[in-house]
Structure 1
Amino acid sequence: MGDVEIRPPRPEEFAAAGEVTVRAYDVDGHLAGDVGYDTQLRDIARRVEQAEVLVAVDGLGDVLGTVTVVRPGSPYAEISRPGEIEFRMLAVAPSARGRGVGEALTRAVLDRARALGVRKVVLSSLDGMHSAHRLYERLGFARLAERDWRPFPHISLIAYQIDV
């Protein structure tokens, strides 16, 4: 991953980061039945105002992936509690998959938690995001079944946690 930089997005990268996120979710079929979520995924500018966004950018300046780091009680928080942060909307461009971008972004979230003095990172993931689940488990995340939830009757989210 030496050719990829993880950092906050620059304003001129917001559109590309949003498109990468929407494309990643769409290619994997994770937007089916969730009308309007693509608008939220695409809106990097709003996320930057209300959370912390990181992008993975290659040496050519192309956005390869993105993730949103969320503090408890903030507008994008879903399951985090005091003393935790969560991450959401982890996405890797289909053309960049298999290069370790998702792992690099996840490790950057863990590093960010340590820098903030937070002891736990949590997340919710669609139950069908099996490749993401394999990544989380390989990195040491454990299921947090008591925080599984359904934002809508047809959407099941499963929770994970890791101590940092």
Structure 2
Amino acid sequence: MVVTEDAEGIAEIRSFNRFYTRLLGALNEGLLRSPYSLPESRLLYELGSRGRTTAADLAADLGMDPGYLSRLLRKLRDGALVESVSSPDDGRAQILSLTPAGVAAFQTLDRASHEEVAALVAPLAGRETDALVGAMRTIRRLLDPVAVAEPVIVRPFRIGEIGHIISRHGVLYHEEHGWDGSFEGFVAEIAGAFVMKHDPMREGCWVAARGGEVLGSVFVVDAGEGTAKLRMLYVEPAARGLGVGRRLVGQAIGFAHGAGYRRMTLWTNDILHSARRIYEGAGFRLVAEERHRSFGRDLVGQNWDLDLDFSRDTATAAS
């Protein structure tokens, strides 16, 4: 029996599929105001992009029934758009390619597709386009395991991302540790103060991102007396195991070095095992523990320290 949440999710996916099919005009007799259907246009695109290939390779790569593919190719051959020759390696196989008329048809479709997408995103602001592309990359990454992932970069936060960081802290810590809404308020207070009055020469926030998707973040704030405080490290579940947390902490430590801090501190809780391993690996030392009741849970808070003067000397000696 399908649970309610799954049923709602399936209904939402089906609704999106109907919307996207209409958006693409896939139900029209001709795609992009051309005389070619969506499957025919896809074959023209594949042949135009690949140059030469076989029907077997097309069927495998496109997940298309060989009989259906054969009928489509026959129609394109009859229209003088596709030609075939026997393979020199296997006389039973046919090498497919576009004719000059087929190349012209492919170029017309390719140009029309580019112009249609450009018009579609033209009303969007830059960040909205980034969000759209990021969502599409997320869909492909989740549904196409063999898709090549873009590299993860660590960069300064952008306007609008602080709200996202607050939201993700609230959701993840509730789902994974059962913390209540007071934790989201706690994070919002810290992040709000940072946005309102931080000195970019002494404090910073960095996000790990892949395409338009935020995968994690970390903050450095001035704690006074030559001490920097590392705050609010988080990594999205799908990005864990990729070294994202280590890179974010390394960025924070490097910034604190460059800003002239002599010491870095952080506060965490003993149940956050993955974060603690990252801190230990970066050279932090556990200096104090205290039981407390926060965020609807009984917790053990921990204070960790890093001697930046020592770390600087060690890094210089190793370089």
Normalising TM by the smaller chain, what interval? 0.7 to 0.9
Gapped regions of structure 2 (runs ≥ 5) = 1-149, 199-203, 309-319
Measured after TM superposition, the shift of residue 133 of structure 1 is 1.0
Deviations along 1:99-123, whole A, 9 cap, x unmatched?
A: 1111111001101111111121110
Matches within 5 A, 1:81-160: 82-145=225-288, 148-149=289-290, 152=293, 154-160=298-304
What residue in structure 2 maps to residue 72 of structure 1?
Answer: 223
- Which range is displaced more, 3-12 or 45-54? 45-54
Measured after TM superposition, the shift of residue 83 of structure 1 is 1.2
TM-score (norm 2): 0.43
Q: Is the 8 A contact 2:291 2:301 kept in 1?
A: yes
Which has more strand, going by share of residues?
A: 1
- Which range is displaced more, 15-24 or 84-93? 15-24
* Structure 2 Cα separation of the partners of residues 142 and 4 of structure 1: 28
Q: Is the 8 A contact 2:227 2:265 kept in 1?
A: yes
Deviations along 1:47-82, whole A, 9 cap, x unmatched?
A: 322443221111x11100011211115xxxxxxxx1
Q: Is the 8 A contact 2:167 2:184 kept in 1?
A: no
SS in 2 for 1:31: coil
Measured after TM superposition, the shift of residue 5 of structure 1 is 2.2
User: Does residue 183 of structure 2 align to residue 37 of structure 1?
Assistant: yes
Deviations along 1:11-39, whole A, 9 cap, x unmatched?
A: 1333332333223323330624xx42213
What residue in structure 2 maps to residue 26 of structure 1?
Answer: 174
| Runs of 4+ off more than 6 Å | none
Paired AA for residue 118 in structure 1: Y
Which has more helix, going by share of residues?
A: 2
TM-score (norm 1): 0.78
> How many percent of aligned residue pairs carry the same amino acid?
31
SS in 2 for 1:36: helix
Count residues with an aligned counterpart: 150
Q: Is the 8 A contact 1:56 1:63 kept in 2?
A: yes
Gapped regions of structure 1 (runs ≥ 5) = 74-81
* Structure 1 Cα separation of the partners of residues 223 and 252 of structure 2: 15
* Structure 2 Cα separation of the partners of residues 62 and 84 of structure 1: 32
RMSD over aligned Cα, in angstroms? Answer: 2.4
Paired AA for residue 155 in structure 2: R
